[in-house]
Amino acid sequence: MSLPLVLPGGWLSRPQVVEFCGLQTARQRARFCVRSASFSCSAARFQPSQITAVGFVDAIKRWRLARQGLSSGKKRRVYCANPVIQSLEGSLWVKLALYAVFAVMTAIMVLKASPTSFFSDQPIKGPIYGFVIALMALVMFQVTLQTSCRRNSRVVLVLGGLILHLVVVKILMTVVDNQSDLESYRFLIIPYAMAPMLHGVLLGRAAGSFSTVFVSFVGCLFVPRAEFLDYMILSLVTGMTAVLLSNQVRKRGQLLRAGIYSGCVTVALSLILGKPGIASSIGPNAMDHLQLLGSGSGAAFLMAVITALFISGLLPFFEGVFHLTTDISWLELSDLNHKLLRQMQLEAPGTFHHSLVVASLAEAAAEKIGANAPMCRVCSYFHDVGKLKKPVYFIENQHDGAENPHDSLTPTMSALIIIAHVKDGIDLALKHKLNPRIIEVIQEHHGDSLVYFFYRRAQEQKKAELEKVNRQLENPEDLPVVDEKSFRYPGPRPRTRESGIISLADTVESASRSLRKPTPAKIRTMVEDLVRAKINDGQLDDCPLTLQELAIVKESFCSTLRSMLHSRIDYPKDKESKDGRNEDRATIVPRPADATRGGRSVSAA
């Protein structure tokens, strides 16, 4: 972000601005910035990353261009992560420190367990067991969850959730030990599903299963020796039930249902294990035991429901803090009444329809290979939002018979406008605070591919000019320079499976509009050629899609396109006599529009 310039009455006076603009070298300008009292005073109002001579020079240049009427004086928003946060996210030392704190805290909690706990008579042995279990858990965490929890923020989420779960268990165990009338409810008031459900919803089944195993093993050290196995069985079964039921949750009501089912499992297992004993319900004190059984079951259900409501209510908080997005949030973001999507419907209807078709292609393909289908749908809606800046320059928004604005532009300028829709999309996404994953897809969906249509046109124009030079009709100095880099998108290339799928779907949908009389064979050939061209151009080199997954994606594209570009039978016409003359009158409904009408070139996608 550049340091803005304010004229008289602001940070720099007019003589200082004139002096700065008259400097020729960067060194002179840097010295001016250092010795300028106004600059140093005003710089205190900004972050250190904003106070750079380069940013100051850039602000001066933009102001001068704006004064001459050659610039609006504005600058696109640029998406970039905080370098400090990025360094902390990937720091090995930070991860090792988190591991050490986790192991030590686990040992301390076992040491401070209640007097009736498993190792109450062996105060040294208990913490050692807890520390060893924590170390083994960290090894399993590093091996099995390395991909999904590579970032240190994910490590904090997982390990912090485990510590929080164990603290709650320890507190409840201490309360039960201090109040003898709650002894019968010992195993019924523990939130077995808290950490497993939280990690299962946010990070998937693998993280949820890991949490279930760890909190079960360590939690056993908080209970009396005679109830060791009972607690382990209850914790493992209830936790895994919550993980399985909370996987790919798309409605908040599903979390409540998972909590209720977890409560049912807790009650059923408690009865089977005799906690409380069901046999005591028959006898002289049967009513008292039935009352105890009912209140215990109610406590188990209540705790499970409270756990589910707690996680459901705090889910947006965890998503915002740890930069995660669940399927629930993706479905909320898929509302087509979003301000940008409504604007696209009105100002760029062709782009809006293109985005809907890309969303259908990408979502179907993502479901086939196990990728995040809701994310593909939402990101596809917004991937071309940058075309709102200049919608008429894209073929899908041009009406039949209307003048194409590219006819009066050079190929280089046309390519510049086409390429700019990526930067404009990032600017609009940041302005409307869209999800960071959407912004990444906007950046990556074209990679650094070539705007082939205008590149070929530039080559043809250069060839025509070269022929004129050979006939000595023009000077060689007037030959246009055709640099391939000027016709390539800025990148980066797709780096996730979802981004790669959307990139392929965007290309395939654009090309399908140019098919004449589409047939299954033509569709398959087109999809194969386009995907092969992407691979040969290196656009999928950074994408984790495998060849097997690409084959499934291609098959999904073919199937979806066949259903979209299907043909229809001709509707019959009735011949009636009117005033002695035969006339043809169309009946029923008019024939649907040709699917290839208004086709667009791949380069303008």
The DSSP secondary structure of 121-137, one letter per residue, reads T-TTHHHHHHHHHHHHH
Of the pLDDT bands very low, low, confident and very high (cuts 50, 70, 90), residue 33 is low
Summarize pLDDT for 422-466 with one digit per residue, the tens.
Answer: 999 999 999 999 999 999 999 999 999 999 999 999 988 888 888
251 and 371, same domain (yes or no):
no
140 and 61, same domain (yes or no):
no
91 and 28, same domain (yes or no):
no
Instruction: Return the percent helix, strand and coil in the chain, to nearest 5.
Output: 65, 0, 30
Per-residue pLDDT averaged across 129-155, rounded? Answer: 87
DSSP track, 239-277: HHHHHHHTTT--SHHHHHHHHHHHHHHHHHHHHHTTSS-
Summarize pLDDT for 208-266 with one digit per residue, the tens.
Answer: 999 999 999 998 888 887 788 888 999 999 999 999 998 878 888 889 999 999 989 98
Terminus-to-terminus CA distance in the chain, angstroms? Answer: 30
Per-residue pLDDT averaged across 186-206, rounded? Answer: 90
Q: Are 371 and 501 in contact (CB under 8 A)?
A: yes
Q: Higher model confidence: residue 225 or residue 283?
A: 225
Q: Is residue 29 part of a domain?
A: yes
281 and 350, same domain (yes or no):
no
Q: Is residue 577 part of a domain?
A: no
Per-residue pLDDT averaged across 490-504, rounded? Answer: 93
Summarize pLDDT for 347-358 with one digit per residue, the tens.
Answer: 999 999 999 999
Q: Is residue 209 part of a domain?
A: yes
**Range among 2-6, 63-67, 68-72, 316-320 rated most confident:** 316-320
Q: Is residue 302 part of a domain?
A: yes
Q: Looking at residue 118, what is its pLDDT? A: 67
b/e sequence 385-417, b meaning 16+ C-beta within 10 Å: bbbbbbbbbbbbbbeeeeeeebeeeebbebbeb
Q: What is the CA radius of gyration of the chain?
A: 33
Q: Are 379 and 358 in contact (CB under 8 A)?
A: no
Residue ranges making up the domain that contains 52: 14-67
**Cα–Cα nearest to 536, from 440, 447, 445:** 447
Instruction: Determine the Cα–Cα distance for residues 292 and 288; give it in Å rounded to an integer.
Output: 6
Instruction: Determine the Cα–Cα distance for residues 489 and 502; give it in Å rounded to an integer.
Output: 16
Q: Higher model confidence: residue 478 or residue 108?
A: 108
Q: Looking at residue 420, what is its pLDDT? A: 92
Round the average pLDDT of the chain to a whole number and report it: 80
Q: Is residue 76 part of a domain?
A: no
505 and 357, same domain (yes or no):
yes
Specify the 3-state DSSP secondary structure of 488: strand
Q: Is pLDDT of 3 > 60?
A: no
Instruction: Determine the Cα–Cα distance for residues 337 and 475; give it in Å rounded to an integer.
Output: 56
**Percent of the residues in the chain that have a pLDDT greater than 70, as a whole number:** 78
Q: Is residue 45 part of a domain?
A: yes
525 and 559, same domain (yes or no):
yes
159 and 276, same domain (yes or no):
yes
Q: Looking at residue 164, what is its pLDDT? A: 94
Q: Looking at residue 83, what is its pLDDT? A: 76
Q: Are 373 and 498 in contact (CB under 8 A)?
A: no
Q: How many domains does the chain have?
A: 3
Least confident of 303-317, 349-363, 392-406, 435-449: 392-406
Least confident of 214-223, 465-474, 507-516: 465-474
Q: Pairing relation of β-strands 573-578 and 581-586?
A: antiparallel
Q: Which residues pair with 578 in a beta bridge?
A: 581
Q: Looking at residue 68, what is its pLDDT? A: 63
162 and 302, same domain (yes or no):
yes
Instruction: Determine the Cα–Cα distance for residues 334 and 375; give it in Å rounded to an integer.
Output: 9
Of the pLDDT bands very low, low, confident and very high (cuts 50, 70, 90), residue 373 is very high
247 and 141, same domain (yes or no):
yes
Per-residue pLDDT averaged across 182-201, rounded? Answer: 86
**Which pTM was predicted?**
0.78
Q: Are 351 and 394 in contact (CB under 8 A)?
A: yes
Per-residue pLDDT averaged across 16-34, rounded? Answer: 50
Instruction: Determine the Cα–Cα distance for residues 536 and 495; give it in Å rounded to an integer.
Output: 17
299 and 348, same domain (yes or no):
no
Instruction: Determine the Cα–Cα distance for residues 127 and 253; give it in Å rounded to an integer.
Output: 40
42 and 144, same domain (yes or no):
no
Instruction: Determine the Cα–Cα distance for residues 454 and 296; give it in Å rounded to an integer.
Output: 74
- CATH code where residue 424 lies: 1.10.3210
428 and 291, same domain (yes or no):
no
